[in-house]
Structure 1
Amino acid sequence: MDLGLKGLKAVLAGASKGIGRATAEVLAAEGCDVAICARGQEAVDATVAALKAKGVKAFGESVDMADNTAYRAWVARAAEQLGGCDIFISFASAGGGPASEDSWKAVFNLDLLATFRGVEAAMPYLEKSKCGSIVAVASTAALEDFFGPQAYNAMKAAVINYASALSQQLAPKGIRVNTVSPGPVYIDGGSWDMIKTHMTPLYEQTLKAVPMGRLGDGGEVARAIAFVASPTTPFMTGTNLVIDGGVTKRVQY
């Protein structure tokens, strides 16, 4: 299927590794020009080189997404470098962990506020697009109890709520807003890799809870994100697409 992404411009924040990088590579393989940022310059450079090797325009810089001014400036700079912005996605996350004042502030700043800030910075460019699309990245941790009360769970729920309300506001402008909520995804060097190594019982407990009998991989989620972001789904907005191998047990009406 041709996703209609060739020649489009995508700005991806926090996309030098994991699901973010996988998504950047899927979009580039479809002919989409891609801009990325992350904190580590080395990972940014490696990702940009991989994207350019697919024959598309790619741009990347090291940016601290917790820095409001620097992050907003990068989004604008990325859109200018690409010649526009048709797709905006923020992958930044402070991750889960024990609840504390610091963890709540960190997750609020990266998981929720960075999504909001990025959308605001990209909006002047999205409004000029004929197929503007925003994809918010949440988690199944927002949908059901997941290792107790954590900032990560609550803030990912807030991301879904924000994206839903935003979809209603932006639909008249022709800009679609959807959410993708992955379940446990195994990525080399990622959080579930570390849990498997250092918290093996917890890893095995989670694995048993997945009806498909395995964790997901970044490419599976990335292809879904690319589909949702693409012009192939012009009537889809306000949707939260769950990709979790059946780990959430809620009935989805």
Structure 2
Amino acid sequence: MPPTDASTDTGAGPTPQLGSGAEDTLELRLPEELLALFRENEPSADSGEAGATATGDLLGTPADWGPAVTSAGSLQLVPVRIERDVVLISRWMNDPAVAAFWELAGPHSVTAAHLRTQLDGDGRSVPCLGVLDGSPMSYFEIYRADLDPLARHYPARPHDTGIHILIGGVADRGRGVGSTLLRAVADLVLDHRPRCARVIAEPDLRNTPSVSAFLSAGFRFSAEVDLPDKRAALMVRDRALRNLL
């Protein structure tokens, strides 16, 4: 099943991997009463949480967060549309370096099913293309770590937000682009989700390029976490430390 880590410069990134299938993380359902409570307590647009309005979105609207100006270019998060993007994302998933971690190699239908699980869900995970200077070159999943099965394995805090990343093009790997984009997206989360005090990631401990990329992006190593199918490095980017790391 797909791992929960986000490998950047190696091109491999996670999808939640905390049970017997890729759907385990994304299919966790909250009782409607609890979801209603989250909706009631989400700040309105007037309180500064972009996109978290009466629609009850658990993450807001990442499409409205950018663009972010980085040393690699201008990055925009563009929400995935299956009919438009599945061929491109599926091609990335079939790269052996990516498939080793995401485990979504195969026909387009495999990738489409993974994307549809998120798009048809309750909004706790949002798949996006990373478009750099107008060219789609990466794939992100922004998700509510505190509402994910991952929260069973670390001391989660309300509004913890996770990032998964896949660098699609081989030419963009191994030269620091992943770290640059990770920092930019983590900062977008912190800028547009004021209730979020921490951005979380869980790369596989064996994926040293991924762990290194997160460290270079201002994340700190917090702990080793035993997940059902891997031992992960819990990486944290703290709002309080964002200007220091």
Q: TM exceeds 0.5? A: no
Q: TM-score, normalised by structure 1?
A: 0.35
Decide which structure has the larger Cα Rg and report it.
1
Higher helix proportion, which one? 1
Higher RCO by CA contacts (8 Å cutoff, separation 6 or greater)? 2
Q: TM-score, normalised by structure 2?
A: 0.36
